[in-house]
Amino acid sequence: MALHFELVTPEKLVRSEDVHMVVVPGSEGEFGVLEGHAPFMSTIRDGAVQVYAKEGAEPETIEVRGGFAEVGDAGLTVLAEHVEA
């Protein structure tokens, strides 16, 4: 039921948790990732990643800069060059 979400920067592993949905600012448009998403890879533009911990919950936004997102069997991994806390 939960999507495993990881946010990684060169300095450290920022997030590693199970969430409901994540909306990622892809370079060709935002996309939301739920559990069981097909394998997908995209570069991201500077913007906010929105993390929905629970269904219908208020999203938590994390500003990221430069990087890309990968959706695989293990869940969603966002590799960002810089994350604004």
Partner 1 sequence: MASLKELKGRINSVKSTQKITKAKQMVAAAKLRRAQAAAESARPYAERLAAVMASLAAKVGKSDSAPKLLAGTGSNQKHLLVVVNTDKGLCGGLNSNIVKEAKLQAKKLIAEGKDVQFYLIGKKGRAPIKRDYASKIAKHFDTSTVKTPGFEEADSVANELIGMFEAGEFDVAHLIYPTFKSALAQDPTTVQLIPVPSPEDAAGGDAVVEYEPGEEEILEELLPRYVKTQIFGALLEREASEQGASMTAMDNATRNAGDLINKLTIQYNRSRQAAITTELIEIIAGAEAL
- Which spans of this chain sit near partner 1 (rule: CB under 8 A)? 6, 8-13, 26-28, 38-43, 66-68, 70, 72-73, 77, 79, 81-82
Cβ at position 51, least distance to partner 1 in Å: 18
Q: Which whole-number Å values give the CA distances from 21 to 10, 11, 27, in the listed order?
A: 24, 25, 19
Q: Which is nearer to partner 1, 10 or 56 (CB)?
A: 10
Q: Which is nearer to partner 1, 54 or 84 (CB)?
A: 84
Q: Which is nearer to partner 1, 54 or 81 (CB)?
A: 81
Six token digits for residue 67: 């990087």
- Residue 70's Cβ-side half-sphere holds a number of Cα atoms within 13 Å equal to 9
Select from 39, 45, 51 the least CA-distant residue to 7. Answer: 51
